[in-house]
Amino acid sequence: MGSTLRTGRTRSRATALAACAAALAALTAVPAQAHEPERRVPHWELKDTGTPETRFRGLAAVSRTTAWVAGTGGTVLRTTDAGATWRNVSPPGAGELQFRDVEAFDARRAVVLAIGEGEASRVYRTDDGGATWTESFRNTDPKAFYDCLAFFDHRHGLAMSDPVDGKFRILSTGDGGRTWKVLPDRGMPAAQEGEAGFAASGQCLVTSGPKDVWLATGGAARARVLHSTDRGRTWTATDTPLPAGDPARGVFALAFRDRTRALAVGGDYRPDQPSPRAGARTADGGRTWRPATAPPPAYRSGVAWLPHSRTAALAVGPTGTDLTTDGGRTWRTVDTGSYDTVDCTPDHGCWAAGEKGRVARLEH
């Protein structure tokens, strides 16, 4: 499911494929000459959230009309009218928390993750569109720091923490996030010195299918992706060609189109540092990763496949949005606005979110 769960499709597959093809054609079209009719090229259209002080790194796109965002100051917003209006549905008393991930099953049910050391890492769940929340997990281990959430279906999901006693810690739920338990770490390979996840976009832990999950890392000598085929009980680790060797470098986001083909983006998040080799791809489920021949030109923290496309995806970061139409081999910048995370839905609803309360939807 990647970083969000979706419910149903509102168009037939044939209609969806046709619409996607039209959108891709517009994105890659040569700009119209002055004497030609104006072309409507897909672009990010900002939606006023009324929260310019908030940075939204958590995003759950449910459909073209419904989306959730979560961010600083314990803020959670929800829209059900394509971003025309936003309802502040933040959990009471969460003003000191930093929400970095949100997973939504639909317009009413969602799970949010607060990050930080010790008790700052928490999980909340709502079943009524954010009218009420239940705190379903509070970390009590001062050595743990949770970064990301991901769900396989409406019941089964995982959360991941930076290494505790030399291994990444995995939290598991089998009831939709109402209760959680720490999984045994016997099947987790040892972490590298300084290795951790990046709570930058809610995309450092992603799933595909009923049991496969991948975890992205950085901060160490090698930027790695860890893969589990049994819902987080045993893992294998693979090196990637993304920048490494510094606490600010690594893999920041993953997007799996299916169980075998995926994209990885990242780099160095410091604005004064270059990020060569900021993109990679795999065609074998993450066993091997190949660098992009023309990668994103700068650090990117979020990535998502365009709906019903086998080759097109968007990557976002503080300096812009990049598009690939060849499965991650080459990327080109199509927008220079600042976004931290991106998510798309089967009914062609692509959303992005980031600093200064910025939330946008891809308009055609």
pLDDT for the residue numbered 10: 37
pLDDT for the residue numbered 364: 75
pLDDT for the residue numbered 118: 95
The DSSP symbol for 38 reads P
CA torsion angle for 18, 1, 328, 354 (degrees, to 10)? 100
What residues form DSSP beta bridges with 360?
Answer: 46, 352
Please provide the average confidence, as pLDDT, over all residues in the chain.
91
pLDDT for the residue numbered 221: 98
- 245's CB contacts (< 8 A; 6+ apart) are 220, 221
* The amino acid at 185: D
Cα Rg of the chain, angstroms: 19
C-beta neighbour count of 292 within 10 angstroms: 25
Q: Quick one: what percent of the chain has pLDDT higher than 70?
A: 89
Distance CA 235, CA 359 (A): 35
Sign of CA dihedral 233, 238, 243, 245: positive
Residue 342 has pLDDT above 80, yes or no: yes
- 35's CB contacts (< 8 A; 6+ apart) are none
Single pTM value for the model = 0.90
- Using 50, 70 and 90 to split pLDDT, how confident is the model at 209? very high
Q: Are strands 98-104 and 332-335 parallel, antiparallel or unpaired?
A: unpaired
Q: With beta carbons less than 8 A apart as the criterion, state whether 339 and 302 touch.
A: yes
249-265: pLDDT as tens digits: 999 999 999 999 999 99
Residue 6 has pLDDT above 80, yes or no: no
- Using 50, 70 and 90 to split pLDDT, how confident is the model at 41? low
The mean per-residue pLDDT over the stretch 301-305 comes to 98
In the chain, helix, strand, coil percent, each to 5?
Answer: 5, 40, 55
176-208: pLDDT as tens digits: 999 999 999 999 999 999 999 999 999 999 999
The mean per-residue pLDDT over the stretch 329-358 comes to 97
148-185: pLDDT as tens digits: 999 999 999 999 999 999 999 999 999 999 999 999 99
**Main-chain dihedrals φ then ψ at residue 73, nearest 5 degrees:** 65, 25
- Using 50, 70 and 90 to split pLDDT, how confident is the model at 42? confident
**Main-chain dihedrals φ then ψ at residue 349, nearest 5 degrees:** -100, 105
The mean per-residue pLDDT over the stretch 115-124 comes to 97
14-28, 74-88, 272-286: which has the minimum mean pLDDT? Answer: 14-28
pLDDT for the residue numbered 4: 37
The label of the residue with tokens 């100051």 reads: 73
Strands of 75-79's sheet in order across: 56-61, 67-71, 75-79, 87-88
39-43, 91-95, 138-142, 352-356: which has the minimum mean pLDDT? Answer: 39-43
Distance CA 120, CA 324 (A): 37
The mean per-residue pLDDT over the stretch 23-36 comes to 43
- 27's CB contacts (< 8 A; 6+ apart) are 41, 42, 312, 323, 325, 334
The mean per-residue pLDDT over the stretch 354-361 comes to 98
Could you tell me how far CA 151 lies from the centroid of its own chain? 12
What residues form DSSP beta bridges with 87?
Answer: 78
Distance CA 219, CA 143 (A): 17
Q: Comparing C-alpha atoms, which of 208, 202, 240, 198 is closest to residue 221? A: 240
- SS3 of residue 285 by DSSP: coil
